[in-house]
Structure 1
Amino acid sequence: MENQDKIAGEEEEEMSGANGRAPGSAADSRQRQAEPEQRMVWKNVVLMSLLHLGAVYSLTLLPQAEPRTWLWAYLCFIVTALGVTAGAHRLWSHRSYKAKLPLRIFLAAANSMAFQNDIYEWCRDHRVHHKYSESNADPHNATRGFFFSHIGWLFLRKHPDVAEKGKKLDVSDLLADPVVVFQRKYYKTSVLIMCFFMPTFIPWYFWGETLWNSYFLASILRYTVALNVTWLVNSAAHMYGNRPYDKNINPRENRFVTFGAIGEGFHNYHHSFPFDYSTSEFGLQLNPTTCFIDFMCWLGLASDRKRASKQMIEARKLRTGDGST
C-alpha cells in the first residue's frame, strides 16, 4: 500500500499545485496584480438572485408541508452532495478510486441533480483549480476575497488564464468514459429530470403533497443549500481554519464545511494529498462520502481506493505543517 501511495502521489503532483512557484513569490504578486477584466454575466446574477429569494420563501412553507416531504428533501440533498463529492470530485476529478458502470451511472444522475455543470466541465475546472490554486487560472481564486470565491466567480466571465490553462490539461480519461460523454450530451435534459422534475413529482404522487410545496422545498430549497455548501469549500475552506499539513498553501481544515459538505472540509489535507480517496487522514470520521465509497466497495461496485500512508502524512506534517493537529 505504501508503494501504491507513493506512485499515486507522483501521478497527482500536478493537480496538487506544484507549479514551480513558492506561494507569496514575486511571480505570485505580479499575477495577483494583473486584475482580470470585470465583465459581468448578468444572466447568472439575475438567476442566482431569484433562486436565493425562492429559497428564502421556501422556508415559510416548511410548517405546512408534511414531515415526509422534509425527509425527502434531505434525502435529495444527500444524493445531490454525493453526485459532487463521491462523483465529480473524488472519482472523476482525482481518480482516487475506481467505480463499476452501475455506480458511475448513479453518480452521474446524482451529479445532474446537483446542477453544477456537467461532469466533464466540473472536473476540468477542478483540475485547473488544483494545479493553479490561488492564481488567475483558478476559477474561484480565494485571494480575490470571500464573496468572489463563494459565488462572485459565477457573476463574472472567467479569466482568460482559466480557459488557457484548462486547454493544456489532459482530460482524455474523462472523454474515454461513456457515462461522462452521455451525461454531457444530454445534460440539460438530465438536469430537468433529476434536479427539478423528480424531486417535485415524488412527494406529490406518493403522499399527496402539493406541487407548490414539493417544488419549493425538494427542488429550490434543496438545490440552493447544496450549492452553498459546495461553494463553502471554495471560500471558507480556503480562508478559515488551521493548516496542519502545509502552512504554505491557503486551503484549511474547516469542521463547519466538513459537516455541511459531507466530508469535504479537510481541505488542507486534500490539497496536500489530492489522490487520497478519503480526503482526510481520519477515515470515516465526519466523512459520509468516505462511508459511501467504502460501502460501495463492500458491495463490489467500487475498488482500488488510493490512500496516503501514515509515514507520508507524518513526514509532510513535520516538513510543512503549522504545528496544529
Structure 2
Amino acid sequence: MPGQATDAGKVSFCDAKEEIRAELEGLAFCDRQERPGAREQRLNIVWRNVVLMSLLHLGAVYSLVLIPKAMPLTLLWAYFCFLLTALGVTAGAHRLWSHRSYKAKLPLRIFLAAANSMAFQNDIFEWARDHRAHHKYSETDADPHNARRGFFFSHIGWLLVRKHPDVIEKGRKLDVSDLLADPVVQFQRKYYKITVVLMCFVFPTVVPWYIWGESLWNSYFLAAILRYTISLNGTWLVNSAAHMYGNRPYDKHVSPRQNPLVTLGAIGEGFHNYHHTFPFDYSASEFGLNFNPTTWFIDFMCLLGLATDRKRATKAMIEARKAKTGDGSG
C-alpha cells in the first residue's frame, strides 16, 4: 500500500491559474500560497536538458514528414521497437524491479534490462528508487514528479530542473538492498551509457538499413528518434494525466486516476487509481487481460517458465476497498 505523506483533506491541488503561472514563470512550488511563511524556492533549471529535450521533440516532429517516404517494414519495426521499449519500463523497471510484483529468472531479467536501456529513462536502479519515492511520498516535495506542481512539471518539467532536496534526502532512506543485490541491475547501471547508445539508437537504426535496405536517415528518425519520443511521452502521461484526469473507484483520497487513454499509450499502466491502491498487484489493474499488454507479456513469460510468483489483490480485498474509500464510480 502506498504511504500517504499528506492529508488529502488539508492539501489541495493549486488551481489552473496558479499552475499556469508557476509553469510560465518557473518560480516557486505552486503550493507556496497554501503554506504561509514557507520559504520560496526557485527552480534550478538544467539548461542542457532543456536544449536536448527541445531538440529531441523537434526531431520527432520532423520525423512525421518521413513516414510516407519510409518502407512499411520500417514503420512496423519502429512500432515493434516501441513495444520493446515500453516493456522495458512497464514489465521491467516498474512491475518487476520497483514493486517486486512477480519474480523473473535470469534470461528474462537480461531481456528486460536490455529493453530498459532501449527506453533511455534512467537506469533501472535510479528509476526504481525514484518510483518507490513517488509511491511512499506521493504528491509531496519528496515525490520526483509531484503532480501538485502542475501538469507541465509532472509530465516533463521535473526532468528539466534539479531534484527537490526532499527527493534526494528521502530517497536515500529507502530500502534498495534488493536492487543492489541484483547483478543484472548493477551491470546495466555500470554500463548504462554504452547500452543506451547501442539499444536506443544504434540497434533500431541499423536493422532496417542492413536487412531490408531502408535509408539510414529514415531508420534513425523513425525507429530511434520518433519511437523514443513517443515512448517517453507515453510514460510521462502516467505521471501527469493519470494523476489529474479520470475517476477514483478504489481510493478517492489519492490523486491517481483511472485513465483509459493513458492505458492505451502506456500498454496497461493507466489503471492508476488501482495501482496506487494495490501497488503489489503484478497486473496493475483489477481487469487482468483487459487491454493490458504488459500483463499479457508477464503471463506469457510464466507459461514459458521465465516468470513466477505473480502477486494479485483478491476480489474480496478489492470490493472492500471500493466500498470503504472509492468514489462510487466503479
Give the structure-1-normalised TM-score: 0.93
Distance 1:169 1:60 in 2: 45
Give the residue type in structure 2 aligned to 1:23.
Answer: A
- Counterpart residue number, 1:133: 138
Give the residue type in structure 2 aligned to 1:322.
Answer: D
Q: Does 1:176 align with 2:181?
A: yes
Q: Does 1:322 align with 2:327?
A: yes
Q: Does 1:202 align with 2:188?
A: no
- Counterpart residue number, 2:49: 44
Q: Map 1:64-75; keep pairs closer than 5 Å.
A: 64-75=69-80
- Counterpart residue number, 1:4: none
Give the structure-2-normalised TM-score: 0.92
Give the residue type in structure 1 aligned to 2:98.
Answer: S
Shift of 1:37: 2.7
Q: Does 1:189 align with 2:197?
A: no
Deviations 1:240-298 (CA, angstroms, capped at 9, x unpaired): 00000000000000000001100000000000000000000000001000000000000
Considering Cα pairs closer than 8 Å and 6+ residues apart, tell me whether 1 or 2 has the greater RCO: 1
Moved over 6 A (4+): none
Q: Does 1:308 align with 2:313?
A: yes
- Counterpart residue number, 1:17: 3
Q: For the structure 1 residues 35 and 106, does the alpha-carbon distance in structure 2 shift closer, same or farther, using more than 3 Å as the test?
A: farther
Distance 1:303 1:17 in 2: 27
Sequence identity of aligned pairs in percent? Answer: 76
Q: Map 1:239-318; keep pairs closer than 5 Å.
A: 239-318=244-323
Q: 8 Å contact 1:36–1:159 — kept in the other structure?
A: no
Q: Map 1:91-106; keep pairs closer than 5 Å.
A: 91-106=96-111
- Counterpart residue number, 1:10: none
Root-mean-square deviation over aligned CA pairs? 1.5
Local SS of the residue matching 1:168: coil
Shift of 1:32: 12
Q: How many residues align?
A: 310
- Counterpart residue number, 2:61: 56
Q: 8 Å contact 1:31–1:135 — kept in the other structure?
A: no
Q: For the structure 1 residues 129 and 201, does the alpha-carbon distance in structure 2 shift closer, same or farther, using more than 3 Å as the test?
A: same
Distance 1:177 1:292 in 2: 22
Local SS of the residue matching 1:274: coil
Shift of 1:33: 5.7
Deviations 1:5-53 (CA, angstroms, capped at 9, x unpaired): xxxxxxxx3xx1244x422336995499655431100000000000000
Higher helix share: 1
Q: For the structure 1 residues 198 and 31, does the alpha-carbon distance in structure 2 shift closer, same or farther, using more than 3 Å as the test?
A: farther
Give the residue type in structure 2 aligned to 1:17.
Answer: G
Shift of 1:320: 0.2
Q: 8 Å contact 2:4–2:138 — kept in the other structure?
A: no
Give the residue type in structure 2 aligned to 1:71.
Answer: L
Distance 1:35 1:223 in 2: 35
Q: 8 Å contact 1:32–1:135 — kept in the other structure?
A: no
Distance 1:34 1:125 in 2: 24
Q: 8 Å contact 2:104–2:307 — kept in the other structure?
A: yes
Q: 8 Å contact 1:31–1:136 — kept in the other structure?
A: no
What are structure 2's unaligned runs of at least 5 residues? 13-30
Q: For the structure 1 residues 225 and 34, does the alpha-carbon distance in structure 2 shift closer, same or farther, using more than 3 Å as the test?
A: farther
Shift of 1:160: 0.1
Q: For the structure 1 residues 132 and 37, does the alpha-carbon distance in structure 2 shift closer, same or farther, using more than 3 Å as the test?
A: same
What are structure 1's unaligned runs of at least 5 residues? 1-12
Q: For the structure 1 residues 304 and 31, does the alpha-carbon distance in structure 2 shift closer, same or farther, using more than 3 Å as the test?
A: farther
Q: 8 Å contact 1:96–1:275 — kept in the other structure?
A: yes
Give the residue type in structure 2 aligned to 1:253.
Answer: Q
Local SS of the residue matching 2:175: coil
Q: 8 Å contact 1:245–1:317 — kept in the other structure?
A: yes
Q: 8 Å contact 2:94–2:128 — kept in the other structure?
A: yes
Q: For the structure 1 residues 23 and 90, does the alpha-carbon distance in structure 2 shift closer, same or farther, using more than 3 Å as the test?
A: same
